[in-house]
Amino acid sequence: MRAVFDTNVVVTALVFGRRLGWLREVWASGAVVPIVCRETVSELLRVLAYPKFRLDAADRDALLADYLPFAEIVTLPSPPPELPLACRDRDDVVFLHLAIVSQVDAMVSGDADLTVLASAYPVISPGALRQRLNAQS
């Protein structure tokens, strides 16, 4: 399975492992391949540097080492593809473009601005991803 994960899901899995820590095992096992692009990785780097997380450069590098080596990198075309449905949050548009371009099986998010678009995009919650993976095994 190939999936785009929004930044909040990735940060929660990496920094606050209790609730979504299982995703680290999913990526490492190859059960789900995270799909990233330059823009989504840049956002992840920016968010991990927020002072509230109190992560120094070594901490951030260690967390990224639990994610990026398992990811497939996709280059977004310029201009990006047309979106079938507009997104309320312009910061989330890149995830939609990435999902369309890479033809993923799912976009994993708990963000209401993305989940409301599930009729047009393959947006699922982390819990729904877990159920789907359990059903496959």
Pick the CATH number of 2-136 from 2.40.50.140, 3.40.50.300, 3.40.50.1010, 3.30.110.30: 3.40.50.1010
Distances (CA, A) of 18 to 32, 37, 62, 91, 111: 19, 26, 17, 26, 19
Which parts of the chain sit beneath pLDDT 50? Answer: none
What tens digit of pLDDT does each residue of 7-21 get? 999 999 999 988 899
Q: 73, 83, 93, 50: which is closest to 2 by C-alpha? A: 73
pLDDT score, position 43: 96
What tens digit of pLDDT does each residue of 44-66 get? 999 999 999 999 999 999 999 99
pLDDT score, position 119: 85
pLDDT score, position 81: 81
State the alpha helices, DSSP H only, in 21-125: 22-29, 38-48, 57-65, 93-102, 112-115
pLDDT score, position 69: 97
pLDDT score, position 86: 78
Q: What is the largest CA-CA distance in the chain?
A: 40
Residues 108, 114: Cα–Cα separation, whole Å: 9
Amino acid at 103: Q
Which sequence spans correspond to the domains of the chain?
2-136
pLDDT score, position 35: 98
